[in-house]
Chains A and B, each alone.
Chain A
Amino acid sequence: MWSSPFITLPSSVSQIMLRVLIALIPGIAAYVWYFGPAILVSIALASVTALATEAVMLKLRNRPLKPFLSDNSALITAWLLALSIPPLAPWWLVVVGTVFGIAVAKHLYGGLGNNIFNPAMVGYAVLIISFPGHMTHWLTPHAIGMLELPFSDQLGYIFGGILPAGLTLDAVTTATPLDTLKTQLHLGLSVNEIREMPIYGYLSGKGSEIVALGFAIGGLYMLATRIITWYLPLIYLAALFSIAGFFHLYDPAHYASPLFHWFSGAAMLGAFFIFTDPIGSPTTRKGKIIYAVGAALLTWLIRTFGGFPDGVAFAALLMNICVPLIDAYSQPRVFGKKGDGK
């Protein structure tokens, strides 16, 4: 005998994860448009590594391969990690990050559903701490008149570590807009002076602001299809806007504008794709709000005062730690009960 309910919605984990992957496509397309196809190489490399690592770990843990390899969750980890690191980097960089994320952060914690830390962000943290040099050489966007490496030479560097004669890595890459802002502020320039530099566009970095817009569009698609709920992403963005806006009004020469924060670095990617990872975020409505505000505050603090170029990854990991506590203290009122549900 089988017990009720006898019917279920025709949804599945792999379908949800697939929609997340689809939602990443507009951002990736913008990335390719402005920075060339090298990012696709990273994504492919990360995807293959993630699935292989997943298979090996499942085998070691005596778990069935098919349901878990087809749940698409490893691919999300792979894509998010690939999008977080510079495309022009040695091939082993993305491989090391992916293997660490999947093997340690995901499977050693119990696999799908039990990974308290976002595996992609753990992979990123390992890389930026262990190989900071490789993590700061970003491709320059097209059409700002800087020297660009042809795609074939990019492949040569990624897989062989060889640059065309006479070129150094520094000559064909640049720091991120966030990183540049931080460095130049230290050198005494004001925000407005820095924003005059050629890598900046309308709101933030040239090209990268459009990529961020692409992620936001993907995020709205996920909201519309109810893959994610609005609490987390919208409150994160609102909180980031408020914090950055407050300081920008207070001292516009030293604090970047709220829109700059929105469209720089991984803020949009984080708002819709990283902080919304259900496994590492709170389950209660109130908890999601607390989590989003905390993440925004940490993002802004790390970006403004921290030693790393962006704050999203560490904000995510730090907030991941707080989730059990947030959940415990944000339980909703149960039907018919008074106040805190007691």
Chain B
Amino acid sequence: MRQLFKFHGGVHPPTHKAESTRTPIAQAKMPSRLVIPLHQHVGNRAVPVVQVGERVLKGQIIGRPDGRLSSAVHASTSGTVSAIDMQLVAHFSGLPDLCITLIPDGRDEWIEHSGVDYKQTPHTELRHLLREAGVVGLGGAVFPSDLKSYSNKHKIKTLVLNGAECEPYITCDDLLMRERAGDTLRGAEVLRELLYAEEVLIGIEDNKPEAIAAMKKAVEQDGHQHMEVIAVPTLYPGGGAKQLIRVLTGIEVAAGVRSTEKGVQCFNVATAWSTWRAIAHGEPLLSRIVTVTGNVEHAQNFEVLLGTPVEELVAQAGSRPDTNRHIMGGPMMGVDLPSGQVGVTKATNCIIEGSDKLFPPPAPALPCIRCTRCADVCPADLQPQDLYWFAKSNNFGKTQEFHLFDCIECGACAYVCPSHIPLVQYYRYAKSEIWQREREAQSAEVARERHEYRQFRIEREKQEKAERLAQKEKAALAAKPAVPAPLPVAAAPNADPDDTLQMRVDADVAKANLQLRIDAAVARAKEQAATAKPRNTDALTPAQQAEIAEIEARRAKLREMASGAGADDEPPKHN
């Protein structure tokens, strides 16, 4: 018997899993249209490579990965592109994002595709195939799998396959393991190869005996030598990657540390399955299993084409009329969708139909009485009551001192709070404020650099003018100004070359996260600008206008001269 480890805290919310496990996975009906977001993964949004009106085939790439941290997006079926525009997407920001709308032609006509023998294929090629197939983490993090299946300089001992599925209601991984254990393990074997891992530990919560049995049987039948199926105690959030790694290996991966540094990598079972389909069959990620449950007549798992509008999906499970919200994910960490029109994405593991009866609105919050029930259940062993206190009083420095960024937002604290304080909301608020401030500090730094350069340039122009006047040369204009000093650029971190890839990826992830927050902030700012008062450049006297015209003319001339000298007057672009 393998020794298992414990993590601090955890809660036992009612699981509600039985409702959706009574029937096998069903194929969802072909929807009337598919709304496929180009940003279904961590990293840069894919770039559309099709035109409106174009006919596409099932499996055809419609969005190319943009940059290293990105992934491909495909047509989930054959049909015609009817629009490429901003649409509401399944994301907590509630903001629209670029989507491709596809009208299926009903023929479901595949593009030419074929698999490879992974044992005969170089690893770089396999990773490229994963990227081209749009395979990303299907446990909810949607991190591109090609980047995660690269062991870097770190020696990976253990590949953890996450089949814990700790969130209530969700059963898509349970059903996947029951019905598709063989291919899931074959995919895990590919990932193990890519990582040169010694062992694969498959963690499944012990409330899924059928899945455990199916996976054990598959391990035995196919003779997977390095694999072990391990039943782990049912305890939320035991399916969090960090928690599962801790339970199975005893290793704690702190916030901001990559598990690979500790010799562990973690993949979701559904990701392993998709990996196998992509490598062995050449099938890109076009659909996923989605649990439809909650306020429905018959809860069930469906194999759903990516882009299927949520409303068309839930109708197939018999969504009840008093449904007032669609929750994507589980009740602990899920997202209240902005609309039923949004398309299913690679992150959509579950749709819970909500009603006031099923999820009564929370009672008004009372003050914190410091009972520390939240601290008792926190899996990161934080002090949620202190974080709440500091976040509430905008004392963001203190929140960081109390390890705010170690919070995984699992919601266990808010679940047990007798004062019904929406604790996680306070932590999200504090995090976004801190990110926003960091961004502001960054742009202030850029502005300062620009200003200093401008001062330097003006000074230089003056000097040159004086020189020219003194020399009284008629051909003064021909004299090119000296080459200006290069823009001060932040020094690139002097990093270990082996690590730079991962570092760049990490930076990209942070940037991508930041971008989401920034988009929201920009939208807010635009709204404010629209209602803002006229600027002080309106209603000016003729004298002031003349002065402005003169300044503008001078600036234009300077710009011309500077560009003539090869300098760039534009501020450095900051993406």
Q: Is A341 an interface residue (CB 8 A)?
A: yes
Choose the segment among B263-271, B419-427, B474-482, B566-574 that binds chain A (4+ C-beta atoms closer than 8 Å). Answer: B419-427
Binds A, one of B382-390, B493-501, B528-536: B382-390
A111-135 vs B, CB cutoff 8 Å, 1 = contact: the mask equals 1111000000000000000000000
A333 touches B381 (CB 8 A): yes
Q: Is the CB of B382 within 8 A of A9?
A: no
Give every chain B residue within 8 A of A67 (Cβ-Cβ): 364, 366
The stretch of A12-20, A155-163, A243-251, A302-310 in contact with B is A12-20
Q: Is the C-beta of B332 less than 8 angstroms from some C-beta in chain A? A: yes
B418 interface neighbour in A11, A284, A331, Cβ under 8 Å:
A11
| Residue A336 interfacial (CB < 8 Å) | yes
Whether B327 contacts A8 by the Cβ 8 Å rule is no
Q: Is the CB of B366 within 8 A of A7?
A: no
Q: Is the CB of B331 within 8 A of A6?
A: yes
Question: Smallest CB–CB gap between B24 and chain A, Å?
Answer: 28
B335:A337 contact, CB within 8 angstroms: no
Asked whether A5 is an interface residue with its Cβ less than 8 Å from the other chain, the reply is yes
Q: When the two chains form their complex, are residues A284 and B371 in contact, meaning their CB atoms are under 8 A apart?
A: no
Question: Smallest CB–CB gap between A194 and chain B, Å?
Answer: 41
Q: Collect the chain B residues with CB atoms within 8 Å of residue A259's CB.
A: none
Verify if B8 is at the interface (C-beta below 8 Å from A): yes
B362 within 8 A of A: yes
Given A113-B370, A334-B382, A336-B257: A5 and B363 interface contact (C-beta under 8 Å): no
Q: Known contacts A4-B333, A5-B414; decide if A336 and B370 are in contact (CB<8 Å).
A: no
Task: Report A-chain residues with C-beta under 8 Å of the C-beta of B327.
Answer: 4, 6
Contact status A7-B254, CB under 8 Å? no
Are A6 and B254 CB-contacts (below 8 A) given A71-B366, A283-B372? no
Contact present for B338 and A1 (CB under 8 Å): yes
For chain A, what secondary structure do more than half of its interface residues adopt (helix, strand, loop), or is it mixed?
loop
> Contact check: which of A3, A113, A335, A336 meets B422 at CB < 8 Å?
A3
Chain A residues, CB < 8 A from B354:
6
Report the separation of the CA atoms of residues A2 and B355 in the bound assembly, to the nearest whole angstrom: 12
Within the complex, the shortest CB–CB distance from A256 to chain B, in Å, comes to 34
* B334 touches A (CB below 8 Å): yes
- Interfacial chain A residues near B364, Cβ < 8 Å: 67
Are A5 and B418 closer than 8 Å at their CB atoms? no
Contacts of B560 in A (CB 8 A): none
Complex contacts, B414 vs chain A, CB 8 Å:
5, 8
Which B residues lie within 8 Å of A284 (CB)? 375, 383
Quick one: which of A1, A113, A333, A335 has the most chain B CB within 10 A?
A335
Closest B residue, CB atoms, query A333: B381
B419: A residues at CB distance < 8 A: 12-13, 113
Apart from A2-B325, A229-B376, what are 13 other A-B pairs with CB-CB below 8 Å? A1-B336, A4-B333, A5-B331, A7-B331, A8-B362, A11-B416, A15-B418, A112-B367, A283-B386, A332-B383, A335-B7, A335-B379, A336-B255
> Contact residues of B with A, CB < 8 Å?
7-8, 11, 13-14, 92, 94, 168, 242, 246, 252-255, 257, 325, 327, 329, 331-336, 338, 354, 359, 361-364, 366-372, 375-376, 379-383, 385-386, 402-403, 406, 409, 411, 414-420, 422, 424-425, 428
